[in-house]
């Protein structure tokens, strides 16, 4: 494995002109985190091509850790997803105008895969440093969940011990303002700088020596729900 962290983010979708997930990863591109270089991949918000782009990036980089990131309107914090389900049920079309309903991500795959990141440790440290964060138990059924499931399945099938998972992030303030102006009401948002900070902290916590893991026990699972 190369000494790199792979971060992925998505194109804008659903009528938005921007997507905070790709802004976050572009900001972190090339940084050193815990001695590892951050490399990035921009994924299309399309069911048909996003997984192929992800797998190409995994082959190209052979990373030590993978964190895929996506936008989730309505979330108020950095939401670290615990489980990906084997279901696509798109409420809106993707960027290629595809809208699969009640389909499996992988017809031959199990019902679900779990994140292999140390989520409690990551969330506890992000919160400790002042950035709102939580563990989420639903990654939805759109392209984000598909990528999360495909990532975990690919690494599990090849028996690669690479910590990996998915994080949803809130809208940017400008996106929330546009929704409010269009009559959709007040929507939660977070500044890009805070999202970048929280992502960096989470990566550092994920890569910390597990034998020195005080933060893992700072917050109980009930407090992280």
Residues noted as catalytic: 81, 144, 168
Question: What is each CA distance from 70 to 1, 12, 40, 86, 156, in whole angstroms?
Answer: 25, 10, 13, 18, 22
17, 179 Cβ separation under 8 angstroms = no
Q: How many CB atoms lie within 10 A of CB 157?
A: 10
Contacts (Cβ under 8 Å, ≥6 apart) of 209: none
Distance between CA atoms of residues 75 and 77, nearest Å: 6
SS3 65: strand
Kindly report the number of other CB atoms within 10 A of residue 87's CB atom.
17
The tokens for 51 are 């997984």
Alpha carbon of 62 to those of 1, 41, 160, 166, 190: distances in Å? 5, 13, 10, 18, 32
Q: What is the DSSP letter of 192?
A: H
Which residue is listed with tokens 């199990």? Answer: 110
């Amino acid at each position: 494995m190369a000494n790199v962290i792979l971060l992925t983010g998505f194109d804008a979708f659903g009528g938005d002109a921007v997507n905070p997930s790709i802004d976050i990863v572009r900001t972190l591109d090339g940084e050193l985190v815990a001695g590892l270089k951050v490399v990035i991949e921009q994924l299309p918000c399309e069911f048909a091509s996003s997984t192929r782009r992800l797998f190409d990036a995994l082959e190209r980089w052979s990373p030590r850790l993978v964190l895929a990131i996506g936008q989730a309107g309505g979330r108020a914090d950095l939401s670290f997803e615990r489980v990906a389900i084997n279901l696509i049920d798109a409420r809106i079309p993707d960027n290629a105008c595809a809208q699969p309903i009640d389909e499996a991500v992988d017809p031959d795959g199990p019902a679900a895969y779990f994140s292999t990141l140390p989520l409690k440790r990551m969330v506890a440290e992000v919160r400790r440093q002042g950035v709102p964060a939580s563990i989420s138990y639903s990654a939805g059924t759109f392209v984000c969940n598909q990528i999360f499931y495909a990532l975990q399945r690919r690494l599990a099938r090849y028996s690669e011990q690479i910590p990996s998972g998915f994080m949803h992030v809130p809208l940017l303030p400008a996106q929330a303002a546009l929704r409010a102006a269009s009559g959709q009401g007040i929507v939660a948002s977070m500044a890009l700088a805070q999202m970048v900070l929280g992502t960096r902290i989470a990566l550092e916590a994920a890569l910390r020596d597990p034998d020195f893991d005080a933060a893992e026990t700072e917050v109980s699972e009930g407090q992280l729900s």
